[in-house]
């Protein structure tokens, strides 16, 4: 059962944005959109500080996932996605900005300093993505078995490239089958590790209200027992609520397109770029009536990374793997109140 107030994060009335009001209030308003970004296990590993005409976007490493994400790589994807939403919201509300990444040597948790000023940057391509922020949702159910048009695939790749990342689309059945094999292998490795199961279970514990993944009531019992890896695997790939076992065939049939996102470098700047590319791609997808969910497992296991790179035909470091298609309605996951993340 999801707490009612945690869902209201998605019901923002943008007409409440006060164009004549104090800048601090305007920035606060824009941050309501930043926190709608996706994050691994819905940890929401971010904090924000408004100071004059700046917003500091900070990583909240107390919300790290040390087993599945030991170097905070995915944590910085999430912060990058939140930063991207902030850029879109600022652009939509007509606020120009300049961004410095990792502005402080003394504090590596400050991942971006956003300075709002008339002399800043105005990116006309971002404002049209605004409505998609509240439409985007991770959809774990199988997608319609219909191809994603080539023009849409191109738009997804362009979105990633605009943020300095690379993307590749795999739509042929044999290619998707080979990726599904690797996902299954990675699932087995991860679920054989009790630390991984414990970490995942902690974030789908029913006591979570404003974060974590409380929507998987059907699978929670098995996970908390650490005893039913198959049920757990269903959570990772498909929503157990859809009642569909995550077999290979379902994974391939239910995923008409698999998209890999990669970066030339593999450092904290690249991870932030990958997160911004991810969110830009997801918002473009949402605008096209497409939805996505994650198959990062083979990338999270270092021994499988090289293989996934070659299946994706990417001559760069793979960072994210998603399935994209047309999905049924999915519920939004909750968000923490802004007061919890603003300091």
Residues that bind ligand FMN (CB under 6 A): 38-42, 74, 77-78, 81, 137-138, 140, 213, 236, 293-294, 296, 332-333
d(CA 71, CA 79): 14
51 versus 331: smaller Cβ distance to ligand FMN: 331
DSSP per residue over 109-135, as a string? TEEEEEEE-TTSB--TTTGGGHHHHHH
Instruction: Give kind and range of the element (H or E) at residue 4.
Output: helix 4-7
User: Quick one: tokens of 280?
Assistant: 């830009």
If one counts every other C-beta atom within 10 angstroms of the C-beta of residue 167, the result is 23
50 versus 213: smaller Cβ distance to ligand FMN: 213
Q: Which of 82, 76, 84 is nearest to 37 (CA)?
A: 82
Q: Are 252 and 180 in contact (CB under 8 A)?
A: yes
Compute the least distance from the CB of residue 285 to ligand FMN, in Å. Answer: 12
* Nearest residue to ligand FMN, scored by beta-carbon proximity: 38
Please state at what angle helix 173-191 crosses helix 194-203, rounded to 10 degrees.
Answer: 100
40 versus 263: smaller Cβ distance to ligand FMN: 40
Residue 69 makes CB contacts below 8 A (sequence gap 6+) with 40, 75, 300
Compute the least distance from the CB of residue 138 to ligand FMN, in Å. Answer: 4
Compute the least distance from the CB of residue 6 to ligand FMN, in Å. Answer: 11
User: Quick one: tokens of 105?
Assistant: 């040597």
114 versus 295: smaller Cβ distance to ligand FMN: 295
Compute the least distance from the CB of residue 95 to ligand FMN, in Å. Answer: 24
**What are the CA-CA distances from residue 128 to residues 88, 89, 178 (Å)?**
8, 10, 36
Backbone angles phi, psi at 49, to 5 degrees: -130, 120
CA dihedral 125, 128, 131, 136 (to 10 degrees): -40
58 versus 213: smaller Cβ distance to ligand FMN: 213
Q: Which of 300, 280, 301, 336 is nearest to 5 (CA)?
A: 336
47 versus 95: smaller Cβ distance to ligand FMN: 47
Compute the least distance from the CB of residue 296 to ligand FMN, in Å. Answer: 5
30 versus 82: smaller Cβ distance to ligand FMN: 82
Compute the least distance from the CB of residue 123 to ligand FMN, in Å. Answer: 22
Compute the least distance from the CB of residue 23 to ligand FMN, in Å. Answer: 28
86 versus 116: smaller Cβ distance to ligand FMN: 86
Compute the least distance from the CB of residue 177 to ligand FMN, in Å. Answer: 20
């Amino acid at each position: 059962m999801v707490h009612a107030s945690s869902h209201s994060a998605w019901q923002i009335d943008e007409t409440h944005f006060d164009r004549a009001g104090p800048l601090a209030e305007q920035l606060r308003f824009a941050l309501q959109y930043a926190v709608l970004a996706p994050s691994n296990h819905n940890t929401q590993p971010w904090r924000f500080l408004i100071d004059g005409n700046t917003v500091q976007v900070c990583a909240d490493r107390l919300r790290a996932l040390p087993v599945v994400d030991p170097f905070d790589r995915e944590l910085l994807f999430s912060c990058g996605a939140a930063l991207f939403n902030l850029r879109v919201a600022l652009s939509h509300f007509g606020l120009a900005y300049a961004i410095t990444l990792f502005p402080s040597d003394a504090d590596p948790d400050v991942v971006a300093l956003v300075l709002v000023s008339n002399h800043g940057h105005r990116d006309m391509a971002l404002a049209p993505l605004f409505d998609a922020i509240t439409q985007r949702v991770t959809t774990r159910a199988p997608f319609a078995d219909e191809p994603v048009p080539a023009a849409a695939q191109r738009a997804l790749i362009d979105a990633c490239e605009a943020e300095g990342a690379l993307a590749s689309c795999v739509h042929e059945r044999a290619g998707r089958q080979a990726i599904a094999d690797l996902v299954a292998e990675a699932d087995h490795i991860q679920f054989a590790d009790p630390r991984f199961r414990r970490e995942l279970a902690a974030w789908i514990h029913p006591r979570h209200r404003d974060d974590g993944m409380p929507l998987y009531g059907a699978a929670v019992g098995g996970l908390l027992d650490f005893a039913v890896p198959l049920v757990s695997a269903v959570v990772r790939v498909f929503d157990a609520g859809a009642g569909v076992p995550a077999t290979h065939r379902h994974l391939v049939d239910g995923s008409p397109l698999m998209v890999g996102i990669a970066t030339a470098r593999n450092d904290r700047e690249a991870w932030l770029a990958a997160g911004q590319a991810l969110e830009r791609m997801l918002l473009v997808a949402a605008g096209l009536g497409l939805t996505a969910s994650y198959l990062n497992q083979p990338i999270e296991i270092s021994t499988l990374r090289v293989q996934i790179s070659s299946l994706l035909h990417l001559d760069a470091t793979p960072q994210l793997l998603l399935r994209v298609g047309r999905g049924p309605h999915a519920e939004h996951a909750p968000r923490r109140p802004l007061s919890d993340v603003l300091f």
